[in-house]
């Protein structure tokens, strides 16, 4: 497959391929891809199968930033596709499908005129298809208007359903949460902001830091966190108890390279120890996280499901009362294109349900603003659509982690590599993004809680400058946005 790329009607001269991948049916990324390469205004995609495929890549849109967008699935052909046109086609199709899903077809609606304008521009692009440069100009206009329209559509849907949820008193003081940084829990100012704002607090757990030697547990930091937060009318969450990324696995276990049964035995023992110790204080356990995407031991599919079952069983055996969450990271599944030991997120969800594993809810993580699979910037329509994919799951959903930076930076946050939303990041834009995200998440009745992943900027944070507070613990505008939501929830 080949694509011609244009900017202002002329062949494009340079392109960032950060985050680019091909996908097949159900938006599942393709593994069997030989190359995705750009040269002289043409993007060449070589894959091993002849099945139809779509392309996702970072694409600049005037006034809308640089977003990870996708085409529809396209069959192979000799003639190159016009990428500008195909991106506009995919957005128009998404608008049509979501308007039907959300029943937003009010003819008197001002949005209807915008929808008609997008459609007319796309038709003009098709009418000029024999002149690719001219067609791309109309396609670019259609895409720009289409992204603006689709975000307004997502916002309107969110406002309607959020208002209904407020009327039905479907939100409570434990709806908004925050994950703490244990290193800062001793700071009085940090605790003050935390306790004034949130009723639901997550204490992170890292197996690598707790069981540094086999059978020897260091609970000092966790004890300190629990002592600081227990008995304060808070709902406490802890986890993830298991996470198979290398920085969450003890070094002695990585060095030993035991077989699967031994790893499962060690994991069961660790979960039993920690849950038994804190069960009087913890209301929710993030039992296992990222088993769909993080698999440093290379477990096969059956072992992935069995490890999920083991984690839930160990937590339930030690504490039958608290809720157990199975957590999904990177809900679009881009990682699947690069790592053959992983499982697409919705396939994992389906198999966990079908396997009869005993747990209470799914957790979803949304982290954006970095050049890593799953963290490139997407717009609000894409986030809304992906959340809708979990509506059919017969379990409630918790957004167990969300973060967005307030500045571009050198740690993979550069705009050309990570993308941007509307313009370059700053505190105002971080606050606006967060407000939009909270609205569309809380508007969905199956989403029980939303937890922000970083209260304060800190040099050890996974992503710099994504806190609600500065390093000096002064509130950013994003903090005020969360405070406004908390007040609205308590008022209703």
**Phi, psi of 256, rounded to the nearest 5 degrees:** -70, -35
Which among 141, 162, 183 is the end of a domain? Answer: 162
Is 107's pLDDT higher than 60?
no
Among the listed residues 396, 491, 387, the one whose alpha carbon sits nearest the alpha carbon of residue 437: 387
**CA-based nearest residue to 441, from 398, 407, 404, 470:** 398
Distance, in Å, from the CA atom of 14 to the CA atom of 1, rounded to the nearest integer, reads 19
The H-assigned helical ranges of 230-320 are 251-256, 260-278, 301-318
Per-residue pLDDT at 247: 94
Whether 395 and 363 share a structural domain:
yes
List, as one string, the DSSP characters of 109-126.
Answer: SHHHHHHHHHHHHHHHHH
Do residues 10 and 82 share a domain?
yes
**Residues β-bridged to residue 114:** none
Q: Tally the domains of the chain.
A: 2
Which of 108, 133, 162 terminates a domain? The answer is 162
* Model pLDDT for residues 406-452, shown as the tens digit of each residue: 998 776 677 789 999 999 999 999 999 999 999 999 999 999 999 99
Same domain, 54 and 147: yes
Whether residue 218 is found in the same domain as residue 360: yes
For the chain, the average pLDDT equals 95
* Same domain for 112 and 254: no
Q: What is the mean pLDDT of residues 338-360?
A: 96
Tell me which residue range forms the domain holding 222: 163-491
The pLDDT value given to residue 412: 67
Query: Does residue 268 register a pLDDT over 80?
Result: yes
Residues 6+ apart with CB under 8 A from 434: 402, 404, 452, 478, 481, 482
Which has the higher per-residue pLDDT, 327 or 48? 327
Q: What is the pLDDT of residues 40-86, one digit of tens each?
A: 999 999 998 889 999 999 999 999 999 999 999 999 999 999 999 99
Running DSSP on this structure, what letter comes out for residue 469? B
Percentage of the chain beyond pLDDT 70 is 99
> Is pTM beyond 0.75 here?
yes
Question: Is the domain of 133 the same as that of 232?
Answer: no
Confidence at 462, pLDDT banded by 50, 70, 90? confident
CA atoms of 185 and 192, how far apart (whole Å)? 10
Is 395 found in the same domain as 299? yes
Residues 236, 149: one domain? no
Q: Provide the pLDDT confidence category of residue 106 given band limits of 50, 70 and 90.
A: low
Q: Are residues 282 and 415 in the same domain?
A: yes
Average pLDDT over residues 20-38: 94
Tell me, yes or no, whether 157 and 252 share the same domain: no
The predicted-structure confidence for 124-177, as pLDDT tens digits, reads as follows: 999 999 999 999 999 999 999 999 999 999 999 999 999 999 999 999 999 999
Residue ending a domain, choose from 105, 134, 162: 162
pLDDT at residue number 238: 98
What integer pLDDT is reported at residue 154 of this predicted model?
A: 96
Same structural domain, 153 and 174: no
Same domain, 123 and 17: yes
pLDDT at 108: 58
| CATH number of the domain to which 288 belongs | 3.20.20.80
Per-residue pLDDT, 32: 84
Rounded Cα distance between 104 and 384, Å, is 14
Q: Work out the burial of residue 108: count CB atoms within 10 Å of its CB; fewer than 13 is exposed, 13-18 middle, 19 or more buried.
A: exposed
């Amino acid at each position: 497959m080949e694509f011609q790329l244009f900017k202002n009607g002329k062949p494009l001269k340079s392109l960032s391929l950060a985050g680019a991948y091909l996908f097949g049916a159900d938006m599942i990324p393709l593994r069997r891809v030989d190359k995705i390469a750009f040269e002289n205004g043409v993007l060449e995609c070589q894959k091993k199968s002849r099945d139809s495929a779509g392309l996702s890549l970072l694409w600049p849109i005037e006034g809308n930033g640089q977003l990870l967008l996708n085409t529809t699935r396209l069959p192979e052909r000799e003639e190159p596709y016009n990428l500008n046109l195909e991106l506009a086609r995919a957005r128009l199709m998404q608008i049509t499908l979501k308007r039907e899903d959300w029943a937003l077809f009010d003819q008197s609606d001002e949005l209807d005129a915008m929808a008609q304008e997008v459609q007319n521009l796309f038709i003009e692009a098709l009418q000029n298809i024999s002149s690719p440069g001219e067609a791309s100009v109309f396609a670019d206009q259609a895409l720009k208007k289409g992204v603006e329209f689709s975000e307004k559509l997502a916002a309107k849907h969110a406002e309607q359903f959020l208002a209904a949820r407020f009327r039905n008193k479907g939100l409570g003081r434990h709806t908004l949460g925050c994950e703490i940084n244990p290193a800062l829990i001793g700071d009085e100012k940090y605790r003050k902001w935390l306790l004034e704002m949130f009723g639901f607090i997550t204490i992170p757990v890292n197996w690598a830091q707790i069981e540094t030697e086999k059978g020897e547990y260091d609970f000092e930091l966790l004890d300190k966190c629990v002592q600081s937060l227990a008995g304060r009318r808070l709902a406490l969450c802890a986890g993830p108890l298991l996470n198979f990324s290398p920085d969450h696995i003890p070094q002695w276990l990585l060095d030993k390279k035991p077989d699967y049964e031994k790893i499962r035995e060690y994991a069961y023992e660790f979960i039993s120890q920690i849950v038994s110790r804190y069960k009087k204080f913890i209301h929710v356990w993030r039992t296992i996280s990222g088993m769909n995407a993080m698999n440093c031991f290379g477990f096969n599919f059956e072992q992935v499901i069995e490890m999920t079952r083991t984690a839930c069983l160990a937590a339930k055996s030690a504490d039958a009362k608290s809720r157990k969450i199975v957590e999904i990271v990177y809900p679009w599944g881009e990682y699947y294109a690069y790592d053959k030991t992983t499982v697409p997120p919705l396939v994992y969800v389906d198999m966990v349900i079908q396997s009869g594993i005993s747990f209470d809810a799914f957790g979803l993580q949304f982290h954006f603003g970095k050049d890593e699979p799953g963290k490139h910037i997407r717009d609000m329509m894409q986030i809304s659509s992906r959340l809708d994919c979990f509506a059919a799951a017969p379990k409630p959903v918790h957004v167990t982690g969300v973060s967005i930076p307030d500045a571009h930076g050198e740690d993979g946050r550069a705009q050309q590599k990570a993308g941007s939303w509307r313009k370059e990041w700053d505190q105002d834009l971080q606050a606006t993004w967060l407000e939009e995200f909270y609205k569309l998440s809380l508007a969905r009745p199956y989403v029980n809680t939303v937890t922000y992943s970083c209260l304060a900027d800190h040099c050890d944070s996974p992503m710099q400058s994504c806190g609600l507070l500065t390093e000096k613990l002064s509130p950013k505008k994003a903090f005020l946005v969360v405070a406004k939501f908390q007040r609205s929830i308590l008022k209703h």
